[in-house]
Amino acid sequence: MQQGRHFLQIPGPSPVPDRVLRAMDMPVIDHRSAQFAELGRAVLDGSQKIFQTSGPVVIFPSSGTGAWEAAIVNTLSPGDKVLMVETGHFATLWRQMAGRWGIEVDFLPGDWRRGADPAVIEERLARDTSHALKAVMVVHNETSTGATSRIGEIRAAMDRVGHPALLMVDTISSLGSVEYRHDEWKVDVSVSCSQKGFMLPPGLGFNAISDKARAAAKTNKMPRSYWDWEEMLKPNVNGFFPYTPATNLLYGLREAIAMLLEEGLDKVFARHQRLAAATRAAVNHWGLEVLCQEPKDFSPVLTAVLMPPGHDADQFRKVVLDNFNMSLGSGLSKVAGKVFRIGHLGECNELTLLAALTGVEMGLSVAGIPYRAGGVDAAMKYLEQRPQGNSPAHLKVVGS
């Protein structure tokens, strides 16, 4: 038995804040009552603020995988062609799902060490003069690799060539942690879930949808029932759902949205950027290698770290768990056993991060991994030089 809280430093599910846990600790109420309608409208309206959209947000009792499927079946038809980019494990899984629904996927190959390249997407779309491609589908933050894709630049590339394809974006591990602007970037379907930046347990899936996507849903040929947007949107107008919702998760969602808005989305995004940079400072000092090779694509949500040759990442993770009660993310698919992932998202601050990095550094020593001591000090120095800025104005912040 180990004392204290378990350190959950995987890139989702992220730790659930005490405020959210207390909010969920409520009796289940009648989901046809006026009391529930108030809750329903609060989370539907609040979700729009997080996606930064004036359009509808549909909330399903589901995983992010369910929200993936909802995006596909509401907009595409069997035999449609789409463009996707191999940014990592989760882009590959979304591709496989599309294939099961009879979608023909043009899968742009990638090396799992950077995000989607807007120039490559632009070149491919420019060649599609017949507009056979019905959608461009991109993972915003590839959780398996620690690389983000520049969605605003991808939209600009689509606009430059005048391509009418839908833009569909997986924001499962980025929403609420990384800058994201559904309306401004003219995204047609944004897919997300509850257990990452929303700081909730798993169980809610989200689709933010544009007018263009909703129009496509009225003419596409894909069968659907549970995932049908229109069936959700009709009762949503009054704060209700067509079937029994995850009531207590919605209580938590209302509280999580309040926390994000109280801090301010810009400050939330800046905090994640700062913690990610401090993590990379530690990794670089240790003499290890960050998996993502493109600085413009460094993820604010997690850092994937390559193990030195001859050392197994999963064995290292076991050493850290057994000795220091901390979970690190595993390598997935092509990078299984080759990388470990440090999550720094959701309710994470400077002290939380430094404790996690201390656990990693001690683990490197106990596991006999070659490294240079002092990575935690490097992260501390970075954070001292770039304070969060929320201290009282009359107090001098050390390092400012």
Task: Look at residues 261, 281, 303 and tell me which one is the last residue of a structural domain.
Answer: 261
C-alpha span between 27 and 48 (Å, rounded)? 26
Residue 393 lies in a domain: no
Annotated ligand binding at 271? The verdict is no
> Do 129 and 44 lie in a common domain?
yes
> Do 278 and 376 lie in a common domain?
yes
The pLDDT score that the predictor gives to residue 158 is 98
> Tell me, what CATH number does 320's domain have?
3.90.1150.10
> Do 257 and 318 lie in a common domain?
no
> Tell me, what CATH number does 59's domain have?
3.40.640.10
> Do 257 and 298 lie in a common domain?
no
Structure tokens at 36: 């529930």
Percentage of the chain lying above the pLDDT 70 cut: 96
Question: pLDDT at residue 130 above 50?
Answer: yes
> Do 237 and 300 lie in a common domain?
no
SS3 content of the chain, % helix, strand, coil (to 5): 40, 15, 40
> Do 167 and 314 lie in a common domain?
no
Return the residue matching tokens 């129009």.
Answer: 215
Q: What are the pLDDT digits (tens) for 159-198? A: 999 999 999 999 999 999 999 999 999 999 999 999 999 9
> Do 172 and 234 lie in a common domain?
yes
Question: pLDDT at residue 17 above 70?
Answer: yes
Contacts (Cβ under 8 Å, ≥6 apart) of 183: 52, 53, 54, 55
Task: Look at residues 206, 233, 261 and tell me which one is the last residue of a structural domain.
Answer: 261
CB atoms within 10 A of CB 324: 17
> Do 163 and 250 lie in a common domain?
yes
DSSP 96-131: HHHHHTT-EEEEE---SSS---HHHHHHHHHH-TT-
> Do 236 and 281 lie in a common domain?
no
Q: What are the pLDDT digits (tens) for 380-393? A: 999 999 776 543 33
Task: Judge whether 118 and 297 are in contact, CB under 8 Å.
Answer: no
Residue 398 lies in a domain: no
Task: Look at residues 205, 239, 261 and tell me which one is the last residue of a structural domain.
Answer: 261
> Do 327 and 236 lie in a common domain?
no
Biggest alpha carbon distance in the chain? 64
- Domains held by the chain: number: 2
> Do 186 and 292 lie in a common domain?
no
Domain that holds residue 308: 7-13+264-385
> Do 229 and 324 lie in a common domain?
no
Question: 5 burial class (0-12, 13-18, 19+ CB within 10 angstroms)?
Answer: exposed
Residue 341 lies in a domain: yes
pTM check: above 0.85: yes
C-alpha span between 110 and 117 (Å, rounded)? 9
Q: What are the pLDDT digits (tens) for 355-377? A: 999 999 999 999 999 999 999 99
